[in-house]
Amino acid sequence: MKPSVGRIVHYTNLGDRDGKYPPEIQAAIITAVKDNNVPQLPVSLHIFYRTGQFDMEWVEYTDAEAGTEEARGKWTWPELVK
């Protein structure tokens, strides 16, 4: 898929390294695409946390499963639910 403004994606927050707060999946909306000619490049996100909202200017894409260590600080497409 190609990222575009307004698409809903998953962002895996950083959590903390000692494991007290593990990485969690957050809902996010793409607010800007850095290069429309190449899919899966960094985007800007508006991220929805249970306690508030946060904007990030530059978030890289990952193929890793959302919520995993490999996905920390990155966005990915939500899994398809049938």
pLDDT in the model for residue 37: 62
- Give the DSSP letter of residue 49: E
pLDDT in the model for residue 36: 62
pLDDT along the chain (82 residues), means of 10: 93 86 93 74 93 94 92 93 86
**Domain spans in the chain, listed from the N-terminal domain onward:** 8-76
Task: Say how far apart CA 45 and CA 27 lie, in whole Å.
Answer: 10
pLDDT in the model for residue 39: 57
CB-based contact 30:6 (threshold 8 Å): yes
Task: Say how far apart CA 44 and CA 32 lie, in whole Å.
Answer: 5
For the entire predicted model, the pTM comes to 0.86
